[in-house]
Amino acid sequence: MNKSVQKKSPVICIDGPSASGKGEISRRVAEKLGYRYLDSGMLYRILALEVDRRAFDLGDRAALLNLVMSLEIEFGGSGKLADAVKLNGEDVSFDIRTDKISKFASKIAVIPSVRKALLNRQIAFRVPPGLVADGRDMGTVVFPDAELKIFLTATSVARAERRYKQLIGKGINVKVEEILRELIERDERDKNRTLSPLLVPKKSIVIDSTTLSVEQVVAQVMDLVTNKRKEDNGGAL
């Protein structure tokens, strides 16, 4: 290999539909490997929140790029703070996860200039010793050269039940039928958009977590990482 070509840090991509458990699995795998973690959906949610709050005109591409570059984002950390997100110093952890912003994020995610504006911010997460990135197009568009690509899925009913338990656990009163309906609606939008649709990336490994616990999925992913390292003979992962 040409030595002048600098080797990029390794990336593990975990793509999949809403509530497939990507976030929890990715965070745990990143922790085990000492890698950085990118929750790309969070970036879409943060942008959706800003656009909504400021009644921002998405038609102005230069202003959109400026807005994306100026967002100061801080992620929580581990344990109870794992879900915490600060935007320009303000805790927006709750605001970015409301139904309204979830829906709006998936609506603005179909706009090509939005995806383009967020691309470099996502790529910038790729730093040594490595990255675990979760989303819809991590393995297909953002990190097509990733060492390991996983597509994590589960039946829509299992995903809706998980989300239901999570929300009830947080004291939020919801109906499981309503969650299922919105989840299917969001899946359809993510799968059917023209740009970067949700699809199984080439050479990815599909894990169906319908009947698996978080620990079992994490163990499967860690086995895949170990096998990949052996295959590459002490390679980048």
Would you say 45 and 105 are in contact if contact means Cβ atoms under 8 Å apart? yes
**Two structure tokens written together for 201:** 């990336």
Residues in the chain: 237
| Among 14, 190, 204, 209, interactor with ligand C5P by CB under 6 A | 190
The interface region with ligand C5P, picked from 135-143, 173-181, 201-209, 218-226 by CB under 6 A, is 135-143
How far apart are alpha carbons 96 and 73 in whole angstroms?
A: 12
Judged by DSSP in three states, 78 sits in: coil
The interface region with ligand C5P, picked from 50-58, 59-67, 102-110, 169-177 by CB under 6 A, is 102-110
Would you say 134 and 207 are in contact if contact means Cβ atoms under 8 Å apart? no
Which single residue is written with the structure tokens 């023209």? 194
Within 8 A by CB and 6+ apart from 137, the residues are: 15, 196, 197, 198
Query: Would you count residue 109 as binding ligand C5P (CB under 6 A)?
Result: yes
Query: Would you count residue 151 as binding ligand C5P (CB under 6 A)?
Result: no
We find the least distance from the C-beta atom of residue 218 to ligand C5P, in angstroms, to be: 18
We find the least distance from the C-beta atom of residue 107 to ligand C5P, in angstroms, to be: 8
The interface region with ligand C5P, picked from 38-46, 123-131, 154-162, 223-231 by CB under 6 A, is 38-46
* Chain residues in the site for ligand C5P (CB under 6 A): 18, 40-41, 44-45, 105-106, 109, 135-137, 186, 190
